[in-house]
Structure 1
């Protein structure tokens, strides 16, 4: 329990030679009306409480939740958003890197950007570098007992910053990024494709492969693998793009360094020639590697089989349609032929009837003439005169 102690304070007496100050002869300035505008964190907090009808306790809870959210997103102690970079775990093998072997190092891992790699922006690289420098500067370890490699790792940090902030050198490093070189072997084999029973195996395993390779394309955007129901035009466009893939990937980063201090021109020319030859060889091998991936994907793509089956069914349907149309035309022609034959038969019967009537008429006339002659002959006989 707290105890309260009252302490009496007695002001000291005035000096004997003290006199009150003489009044000033200056006139008092006139009163001026000023308009004060409320501002500041306290006023903003008051407005938030008033608008959202929050109590002080509820407002404090909201503030704590907001601070936690900003903390997860990487807000530093000074309130500056560090974009969540540079805080990756530092294993022992990373801290013991040899600064002289900088070409064999993963510069993104050194700066704590392994999760971003080639997607890291310039601002993220600068923030990560600043955090690493503040953490591993040799002056911070001065006087600490024990063998420490902070000086060597600090040099690795500086070298990583030098490489990644230079666009040309960063592109050279991205071309041979050790992280992606390890992933290049993770391509499905023909045996795996043949033995799988998963209908989505092709898309699950080949889609990440083409996404990784797309970063080297000079032409953007790059068509991705797509889904099973992609149209024939999309599938053909995808393979046409990847069979004509224009890669900016280069291998200068792996060039053999010319011996420092060497003044021998022949040595320099030989080294440069050797480096150029090695770059061309690696470029050729990389092109063949990518072409092999595209060939394998084309041979295993289930959409090719689906498109061929659809085209076959379309041809058969078209053929059936033509056959049906031909059969319908024959029936119509047959009906017309029958009508034509009936018409010709009717015409022929009419002609026969006409001829029969004409012959009957002639026969009737001939019979009448014969009867008339017979009557004349009979009358002549009766009269006794020759007919």
Structure 2
């Protein structure tokens, strides 16, 4: 802590500015990283938003109809696109085969005399076989089919009666912020957040290793500059690139190309992203000091980014995780940044609502920076 504080006190803004400009020129001369940045904030955001669906879309359904009554045909005709593909009738001998081969996600079986038993007040069983290897579609689709079977059966028995009006209670569902429950609204923004994490770690770490491999780090050691100045230069320059790419992606990819509304202030989101980048760029430099080559850096970065991505709350809500793991992930800046981003971009939260999370990001960033600076100083000392 004392070493870090003394280095920060000797900080010269001009040195930090000039070193940061040097970093920008180095990045400009690296076409691979430039292509990666453009790809991650354009095609990657678009493809994930459009390609990864949590809703039931075009689910394949097979019908094994041993009744052929008006009721079974009515239920079958209610399985409509785009939720379901047109149902395909199969013989009973093929049911196990089509499930084992993955030809259909659902096989709906109507028993003999199904329509007659319903009219006589009996309770016949309709069997729904599900290929649960398609996890999300299997869970949600089974619920949809169950609701369709019940609704069409009630409509068949009482065609002129409003069944909902006869219930003692009525549920009124109001969806805020995403009224159509569209997954691509969610996926696009979360992909940008994950891209900030990815590049925030990779760019400064790769810059440090690139200087070591090219021998330019020795040139820096011969200059009258401190380790804190070198670190701050790498943080602001690489962070600036990520912030610019983030703002452009939100405006042109999310808002204009995908037509996804942003409820909150992009300026406030950029401020939160800057504080978050202070943490993850420091982490990237720390990983760059631990590894000796770009290959080692890549192998070390992969598991760290995967853990931060999967357990930050961007894919799985924090509330559904084990309590111990949830407490551990509070030490990760990605957890708080995901919560911040969702509050700002989805719910339109203002500064007064999110300032506690901003303070947490500042505190975590300070810890990461101090650890990285001390490690960076020791690394430089061994090279001097």
- TM-score greater than 0.5 by the shorter chain: no
TM-score, normalised by the number of residues in structure 2: 0.25
TM-score, normalised by the number of residues in structure 1: 0.25
Larger radius of gyration: 1
Query: Would you tell me which structure has more strand in proportion to its own residues?
Result: 2
Q: Which has the higher contact order (CA 8 A, sep 6+)?
A: 2
